[in-house]
Structure 1
């Protein structure tokens, strides 16, 4: 699901690791005795990234082998479940997780419950801008799990067969022309996944983010919507974004039943060459890899938002820290807090922790000390955009219910149950009612 402050990192490569139970040597943790009281401690970790559930389970087992007195139990958020709502319900029940994985915009809402991590070792090794969204009142209340980017993922093998050069797609008309060529070889041009988090947290915010390259422009724009100063129906950027959405919608492999599409089916379509493009992020590589018939030939192009190639947004990918992890201080005692901090440090400094981030979970670490070279093609593609400074940082201030509410309105539009004017009204009404 799902967030300018960027990073000049991106690392990754393959590492052979030996797991030595209870040992801090090669393959083990370099965290020393910090957070270890010698007692047996159980901590819980709320995972809100379902696509790395298996990899995270394996990582916690490796951590426990190296730290036998600490057990980490994973609490998995349900598919489509809001991280904010999940954590809120756990606090209400008095059993908040030791570690909570949240979207950047949710971190401030729990700042009074999370530990100040400013003095942690990794805070000094974080990439430029990677910590900013979780700095609240001078305190660092979140650990940046990874950098993520999103746009239109392409299968290069399919594009080559259709005679399409992805680097030449600069405008909405260019995209339409490419889609026509792809249809000409009997392949569906597009997978447009209907999940509310994809539509509401990723696609629709493009209309906010592309208003201007000026700092804070997106936040100002939504405040103007809230104040009734913006008529979305007449806004050029919103109309451009939705015109492109209409092109994606018309070329969607699931256009006959657009809400029937699933996240799980899309990687198969793309990886087996049944579709050429998918609007999604680099977090999807582990699933695409399972079906990959293109020998790892994938990359990103930006979502074009107008027919002027020079317009802001037509050459940029959306990328930034996507998930932060907070350490609870209300329902977890001192030993549990120390163990939770030790796990975060293990992720950044141990061989196995780094291997989990880069090689197993295909994440782009937010720390400059992680020197593993990125192996997956989507991570490499995001890295090129970052290094070329062709990125727009996703919004970190969207309300926790934005993806569900506005995403629901986008689903109605995708399904043909509303038109552009009704969608604009839905979005404006949503913002006017935000407290």
Structure 2
């Protein structure tokens, strides 16, 4: 019995030791798993799975963004990415705010640059990220980098090169259109050639945050922020402001030759784009993001930019410049997202800047101009190339839409629509603009 008891004791001890060793191994594995969740680069297939969401406010690249998310997840199997896109009628701020109100904010939210500050208390500080050193321009709020500049963009009068080369009887030079009078002469020539000179899209975001914003950016004696402070304080008299009046002189010319002038509010994004893409119209007002839509109708089309003149003086800087800025910006949620989700979101941003697939997405699929010095891919699309040429030549004014409140495009976009449809006059429009800015806190 003693020998049997001794044997049983040995067996029991062996089992206990084995079990303890197994638990230690499992604990070590779990510990490693937790570490991998925050530092894994996608090579460790055993890493803890993390799901992140991206709020994409560039609805025109929803398909491309979704494909990029899938490509990223294949390279990083432990990270699953869901893309949520806004539509053209919904401001990014409204969507982001709704997600926060529901307790399910996006891990990564893409907003207009001017709206990032509203979410500063919810944004993760990214100042220590490697890509900050690659920025072509500083991107700080109160001394901190709170957002990732997704795209440098610009806007003006987009033209079909084939049409204007034909009208010009050779290579059309956009530099020759440096006054409102020169623009009207060009539109007359296009009309005489049997083409529709242009279409003005009635979109409130385009009229409010882009066209009207030129009046803020083109002021000769102050910068954008300075002029907006004048508007807020009630000291900016638009009725007697030369730049505002000059911009509306140009807008009146555009209205005169608008192919949709009989029903201007019916001219939408798709219609105006298709008309220019196919050559039935020569010009529309929009930005380089339009290239995705243009290429749908004419994959071989070539396009360029004419600045929007604000006077009949060729020496006026804005007459030879287009509005350019780092527009769409992404911040990482620091309120509801876990550390693992934040780490995964950082990996996605690094993928965009440093990995070939990420760079290819930005330049060749999203058709944006990167804000990073290390991305040296040849720009894709004639509009991106044109914006970059204006930028490198110093022929740019501020993208003033980056400095306006989130409801600016809806409120004053509606005011611009009224002017487009001749429901209000210049003085009435000026009063609505001034009243809006006086209400801004």
Using the size of structure 2 for normalisation, the TM-score is: 0.87
Post-superposition shift, 1:158?
0.8
What are the within-5 Å matches in structure 2 for residues 414-425 of structure 1? 414-425=420-431
SS of the aligned residue for 1:111 comes to: helix
Gaps of 5+ in 1: 1-30
Match of 2:185 in 1: 177
Post-superposition shift, 1:137?
2.5
Decide which structure has greater helix share.
Answer: 2
Find the aligned partners of 1:45 and 1:340 in 2 and give their Cα distance. Answer: 9
Equivalent residues of 1:212, 1:218 under 8 A apart: no
SS of the aligned residue for 2:294 comes to: helix
> Residue 348 in 1 paired to residue 356 in 2?
no
> Residue 206 in 1 paired to residue 214 in 2?
yes
Find the aligned partners of 2:224 and 2:150 in 1 and give their Cα distance. Answer: 24
Match of 1:378 in 2: 383
Which of 155, 160, 163 is the equivalent residue of 1:150? 155
More divergent stretch after superposition (376-385 vs 205-214): 205-214
> Residue 410 in 1 paired to residue 416 in 2?
yes
Match of 2:121 in 1: 112
Equivalent residues of 1:159, 1:166 under 8 A apart: no
Post-superposition shift, 1:80?
2.0
Find the aligned partners of 1:89 and 1:405 in 2 and give their Cα distance. Answer: 19
Equivalent residues of 1:82, 1:400 under 8 A apart: yes
What are the within-5 Å matches in structure 2 for residues 17-416 of structure 1? 33=40, 38-127=47-136, 129=137, 131-132=138-139, 135-163=140-168, 165-212=173-220, 214=222, 217-292=223-298, 295-395=300-400, 396-416=402-422
Post-superposition shift, 1:356?
0.6
SS of the aligned residue for 1:331 comes to: coil
Q: Deviations over 1:89-113 (max 9, x none)?
A: 1111111100000111111111111
Equivalent residues of 2:127, 2:145 under 8 A apart: yes
Largest Rg, 1 or 2: 2
Find the aligned partners of 1:433 and 1:40 in 2 and give their Cα distance. Answer: 47
Find the aligned partners of 1:351 and 1:221 in 2 and give their Cα distance. Answer: 42
Find the aligned partners of 1:403 and 1:152 in 2 and give their Cα distance. Answer: 19
Post-superposition shift, 1:371?
1.4
Equivalent residues of 1:151, 1:279 under 8 A apart: yes
Find the aligned partners of 2:141 and 2:323 in 1 and give their Cα distance. Answer: 23
Match of 1:23 in 2: none
Equivalent residues of 2:156, 2:308 under 8 A apart: yes
When the two chains are superposed, the root-mean-square deviation of aligned CA atoms in Å is 1.6
Q: Deviations over 1:308-341 (max 9, x none)?
A: 0101311111111011100001111111111111
Q: Deviations over 1:325-361 (max 9, x none)?
A: 0000111111111111111111111111111100011
Gaps of 5+ in 2: 1-37
Post-superposition shift, 1:292?
2.2
Equivalent residues of 1:144, 1:324 under 8 A apart: yes
Find the aligned partners of 2:234 and 2:376 in 1 and give their Cα distance. Answer: 48
Using the size of structure 1 for normalisation, the TM-score is: 0.89
Equivalent residues of 1:162, 1:184 under 8 A apart: no
